[in-house]
């Protein structure tokens, strides 16, 4: 038993080391994309912090979800955050599973480059939206009478730049349309839907996102419109950007093409290859690749023509 555990541990250690070397090489080639994505995450947090300074509490707007879903209350508002944390951590752990498990379909660095591209595009649209119109926040700490509903003017620029993490993120107001929680959840679930292998987990993930949508409204963190807009906006963003990004390399071939070339580059390289073939007398159409024979210094495409010509010369 001890021998078996030692042998398996040795195999696992070798697998982890090999994966680390592979991912380091990918990181060296793609660190700019990851860094840009992380910087954009900070900018998104900074924008959410900034809109809190101009937030003005007021009466809660009429909302269909508030009529249909009973209010959870402040004591049970943590249920929504707990579910979101579970989705978030589960996805993060899944992206690192190639370091341990034998079944490897993704590269961790490349999958995060892709995820950050989806997040940045969605968050950019979100920033434009919630700065266009500031709605009175429906959350408990954003209502009239709460000390956190309005932020006093900052004493220095550093107070704004530091964002007061994580308290400033958890108790923000004004960044409503559309829900940031739904952005992360939908991006994660759509990514697993494409690159995951377990059908049951895919179905469970979509069910959890639907449940989270109701919990966000029931906990009064967002209006229903914030969740509805997130559902179609994020899905459309992921759909169109995913078509522009180069597909992840197949791990079965052991090749890792470095992200992020656009698909248009692939088309250009293919066009150049076809032009090169044409210049060398090779047709791009397989139906046009007939046997070519030279007779009396002339190139003939049809062998039957050659025979006919030879018969006439004999006569």
Q: Which residues are catalytic?
A: 181, 222, 226
Query: Could you tell me the end-to-end alpha-carbon distance of the chain, in angstroms, rounded to an integer?
Result: 92
Strands (E), the chain: 293-295, 298-300
CA-nearest of 163, 184, 177 to 221 is: 177
Please give the backbone phi and psi of residue 144, each rounded to the nearest 5 degrees, phi first: -60, 135
User: CA 9, CA 17: separation in Å to the nearest integer?
Assistant: 12
Give the rounded distance of the alpha carbon of 276 from its chain centre. Answer: 36
Q: Residues with Cβ < 8 Å from 257, sequence gap 6 or more?
A: 246, 249
User: CA 30, CA 22: separation in Å to the nearest integer?
Assistant: 12
Give the rounded distance of the alpha carbon of 98 from its chain centre. Answer: 18
């Amino acid at each position: 038993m001890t021998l078996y555990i030692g042998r398996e541990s040795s195999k696992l250690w070798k697998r982890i080391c090999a994966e680390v070397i592979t991912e380091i090489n990918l990181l060296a080639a793609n660190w700019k994309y990851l860094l840009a994505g992380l910087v954009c995450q900070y900018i998104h947090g900074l924008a959410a912090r900034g809109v809190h300074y101009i937030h003005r509490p007021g009466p809660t707007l009429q909302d269909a979800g508030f009529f249909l879903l009973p209010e959870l209350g402040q004591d049970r508002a943590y249920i929504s955050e707990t579910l979101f944390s579970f989705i978030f951590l589960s996805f993060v752990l899944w992206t690192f599973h190639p370091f341990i498990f034998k079944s490897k379909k993704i590269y961790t660095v490349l999958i995060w480059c892709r995820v950050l591209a989806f997040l940045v595009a969605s968050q950019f649209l979100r920033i434009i939206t919630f700065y266009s119109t500031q709605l009175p926040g429906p959350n408990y700490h954003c209502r009239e009478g709460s000390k956190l509903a309005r932020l006093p003017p900052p004493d220095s620029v550093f107070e704004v730049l530091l964002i007061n993490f994580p308290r400033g993120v958890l108790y923000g107001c004004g960044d409503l349309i559309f829900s940031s929680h739904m952005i992360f959840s939908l991006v994660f679930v759509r990514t697993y839907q494409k690159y995951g292998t377990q059908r049951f987990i895919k179905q469970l993930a979509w069910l959890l996102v639907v449940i989270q949508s109701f919990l966000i409204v029931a906990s009064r963190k967002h209006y229903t419109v914030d969740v509805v807009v997130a559902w179609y906006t994020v899905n459309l963003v992921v759909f169109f950007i995913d078509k522009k990004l180069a597909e992840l390399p197949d791990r079965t071939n052991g090749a890792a093409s470095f992200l992020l070339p656009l698909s248009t580059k692939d088309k250009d390289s293919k066009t150049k290859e076809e032009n090169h073939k044409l210049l060398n007398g090779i047709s791009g159409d397989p139906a046009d690749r007939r046997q070519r024979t030279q007779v009396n210094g002339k190139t003939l495409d049809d062998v039957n023509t050659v025979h006919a010509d030879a018969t006439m010369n004999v006569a």
